[in-house]
Amino acid sequence: MNPSPLTLVIALLVTVSCLPAAGPIPDFMKIVVASGPTATPAEVATQNAVQLDNSMMAIYDRAHGTFQQNFVAQTPIIMALFTNAGGNWILYRPGQPPLIAPQVPVGYQIVKGVSHSAMAIYQIVAPYVGNPADPSWLAPLTVWCAQQKGVLATAGDLDLPADVKDAVKGILNANIGFMETSLKNKTFTADELTKFARSLEPFLGKTIGYAAKTQVTHWMGVMDDWKKLLGDDWSKTYGLTNTLYVTRTNNIFFTIMAQYFGKEAINDRLLLFETTEFQTEPATMLDLLSRIVADRVLGRVFFRDFFLMDVELVSSGSREAITNDMAKRIASSGGAYTTYNSRNTIVDETKKRGMALLMPPLAPFHSQQWPWRTIAADGEGAATIKEAYEEKGGNKLPNQ
């Protein structure tokens, strides 16, 4: 018969209590062993308590593998990943291999590459705008100029609409003109760099417009097909895409999927994940999604709210709006505000320091608000490339 856990614990305690006192350390061991001070009971107790959270993470990870397997086995998922080729969309269906969508027409990559080529010129020369006599920029600009001349020489054979092809040639000619002049003079000025960049305005408007139309039309066609393919399973399908900070506002893929999923799915079955890299691996995205769904179930079990775990647990504890008058709220609630959470602490500590409180309202855990800037009145400056070119909004610079 196997001993009970309690019996094993008692035996271990007896063994430890019977261990002999430590003897002197042999000389050959002193190089790696030190006879430091004995830990206090308080230090041991603290270590034991802190270790619980570290051990919990290992338990959490083991369970998560099972949760993810069960979730993917019964839930359709549409994953939209950003790539240099215009995106990689994958449909996961229970019991079937992933379905990878066809790529965006190559014209998207052509105009994107040519449009970005001008910005690469800036990256080469801008570090030396204060000291163009430093020859470090000459070699890379020479190579870049030769590469763009090669593209221009074959641009007439590109499979693009005539007006877009003309814009591509316009960008390449402007790029080459600036580079050849700078290389010939072995110098350039900030004004010349700015004038060159501004000269591209009519061409970039055309290429950006073509790229956007090509990409959006393609992926909406894919969504049309996949929604039909999923049929009745559409109502339980999850959609997700990744984003860097710069692609978070008006995220193209999220906006496309929102047209099909509807507002009621935003932040519920349609999710936008902020990631650290432009291109994210599908396995990473599946891991993020399954963790969110598993934690939502946990939140329902422990806190009676399916979406509570979507926010930082320590920072919340009440759905009521926080005000500066803590005592008034506690009194009016009959003592219901007993959770003195992180938000409350920030309010209190800010008040102590005489600082102006800057904090968003305490919103419900579950919300279908768009996950980016949406309030037009809260902000300043241009909202489109066209407005930026027209210098609307005052072009306020940081610290002005």
Mean pLDDT of 250-271: 88
Q: Are residues 217 and 97 in the same domain?
A: yes
Euclidean distance between CA atoms 33 and 27, whole angstroms: 10
Q: Are residues 97 and 214 in the same domain?
A: yes
pLDDT class of 14 with cuts at 50, 70, 90: very low
Q: Are residues 189 and 246 in the same domain?
A: no
Q: Are residues 204 and 215 in the same domain?
A: no
Q: Are residues 118 and 145 in the same domain?
A: yes
Which pLDDT value is given to residue 295?
83
Q: Are residues 96 and 236 in the same domain?
A: yes
**Last residue of a domain, which of 154, 180, 208?**
208
Q: For the ranges 41-50, 118-127, 227-236, 390-399, which has the lowest average pLDDT? A: 390-399
Residues 6 or more apart whose Cβ sits within 8 Å of residue 204? 115, 118, 167, 171, 385
Domain assignment present for 71: no
pLDDT, tens digit (0-9, with 9 covering 90-100), for 95-141? 999 999 999 999 999 999 999 999 999 999 999 999 999 999 999 99
Domain assignment present for 396: no
Do residues 141 and 185 touch, judged by C-beta distance below 8 A?
no
Q: Are residues 246 and 279 in the same domain?
A: yes
DSSP 94-142: TTS--EEPPPPPTHHHHHHHHHHHHHHHHHHHGGGTT-TTSGGGHHHHH
pLDDT class of 291 with cuts at 50, 70, 90: confident
The total number of structural domains that make up the chain: 3
Q: Are residues 90 and 146 in the same domain?
A: no
Domain assignment present for 383: yes
Which pLDDT value is given to residue 61?
81
Which pLDDT value is given to residue 323?
40
Domain assignment present for 227: yes
Mean pLDDT of 269-278: 83
Q: For the ranges 181-185, 229-233, 293-297, 336-340, which has the lowest average pLDDT? A: 336-340
pTM value is 0.75
Euclidean distance between CA atoms 188 and 336, whole angstroms: 68
**Last residue of a domain, which of 183, 208, 233?**
208
Domain assignment present for 317: no
Q: Are residues 244 and 277 in the same domain?
A: yes
Q: Are residues 130 and 221 in the same domain?
A: no
Q: For the ranges 84-93, 97-106, 303-312, 346-355, which has the lowest average pLDDT? A: 303-312
Candidates 343, 361, 364; CA nearest to 268 is: 364
Euclidean distance between CA atoms 87 and 37, whole angstroms: 59
Domain assignment present for 22: no
- Give the full edge-to-edge strand order of the sheet including 88-92: 99-100, 88-92, 77-81, 238-243, 270-274
Euclidean distance between CA atoms 217 and 223, whole angstroms: 10
Q: Which of 67-71, 187-191, 245-249, 370-374 has the highest mean pLDDT?
A: 187-191
Candidates 77, 145, 139; CA nearest to 287 is: 77
Percent above pLDDT 90 for the chain: 43
Burial class (CB in 10 A: 0-12, 13-18, 19+), 215: buried
**Last residue of a domain, which of 246, 280, 310?**
310
**E strand or H helix at 257:** helix 252-261
Domain assignment present for 46: no
Q: For the ranges 84-88, 240-244, 267-271, 389-393, which has the lowest average pLDDT? A: 389-393
Q: Which SS3 state, helix, strand or coil, does residue 224 take?
A: helix
Between strands 270-274 and 238-243, the pairing is parallel
Euclidean distance between CA atoms 177 and 182, whole angstroms: 9
Q: Are residues 215 and 292 in the same domain?
A: yes
Euclidean distance between CA atoms 312 and 304, whole angstroms: 16
pLDDT of 5 > 50? The answer is: no
Q: Are residues 284 and 265 in the same domain?
A: yes
Domain carrying residue 296? 81-101+210-310
Between strands 99-100 and 238-243, the pairing is unpaired
Domain assignment present for 220: yes
